[in-house]
């Protein structure tokens, strides 16, 4: 016979497994944007919008892939000469996307390529990056929802 704590633990485990079966909180290699052709296509044909110091360039990809989003991050060398600072900002952006991708993962259809650019002049905190990431992902979701209606 299961005790009350065992029942709660079992229910929690089932919910936990269900959540991770539908969407992983990881950022695996297959989700990273590495294709030079795709990056060039993003800059030529991609649509974009900004929020705070972040800019999202996105493109719907027609080729079937095993992932819904291919994501890359970039920080201009013009604004941050130090590679240490650029890498820190990129780590912050990747972590913010990893923790907030659930906002668009289950709510959009099709495959997309994303490129997040940091346009600020000052070294940001994680909270600033996350705030911008949440807003930009909400804007993206709204644009996708508006495109479905049309």
Q: What is the mean pLDDT of residues 114-123?
A: 94
Flag whether 9 is in a domain: no
Q: For residues 45 and 79, what is the distance between their CA atoms, to the nearest angstrom?
A: 25
**Statement: residue 117 has pLDDT above 70:** yes
Nearest partner of 52 among 111, 108, 117, 146, judged by Cα: 117
Flag whether 68 is in a domain: yes
The number of folded domains in the chain is 1
* Domain span including residue 55: 27-149
Q: What is the mean pLDDT of the chain?
A: 82
**Statement: residue 87 has pLDDT above 50:** yes
Output the domain CATH number for residue 70. Answer: 3.30.230.10
Q: What is the pLDDT of residues 4-15, one digit of tens each?
A: 555 545 444 444
pLDDT at 57: 95
Flag whether 14 is in a domain: no
Flag whether 140 is in a domain: yes
Q: What is the pLDDT of residues 127-146, one digit of tens each?
A: 999 999 999 999 998 888 88
pLDDT at 4: 52
């Amino acid at each position: 016979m299961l005790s009350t704590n065992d029942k709660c633990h079992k229910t929690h485990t089932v919910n936990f497994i269900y959540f991770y079966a539908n969407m992983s909180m990881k950022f695996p290699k297959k989700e990273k944007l590495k294709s030079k052709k795709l990056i060039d296509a993003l800059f030529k044909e991609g649509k974009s919008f900004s929020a705070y110091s972040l800019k999202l360039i996105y493109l719907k990809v027609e080729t079937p892939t095993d992932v819904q989003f291919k994501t890359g991050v970039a920080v201009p060398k013009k604004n941050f000469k130090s590679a240490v600072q650029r890498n820190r900002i990129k780590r912050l952006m990747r972590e913010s996307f990893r923790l907030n991708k659930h906002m668009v993962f289950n709510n959009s259809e099709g495959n997309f390529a994303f490129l997040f650019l940091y346009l600020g002049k000052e070294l940001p905190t994680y909270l600033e990056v996350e705030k911008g990431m949440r807003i930009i992902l909400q804007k993206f979701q709204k644009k996708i929802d508006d495109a479905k209606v049309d």
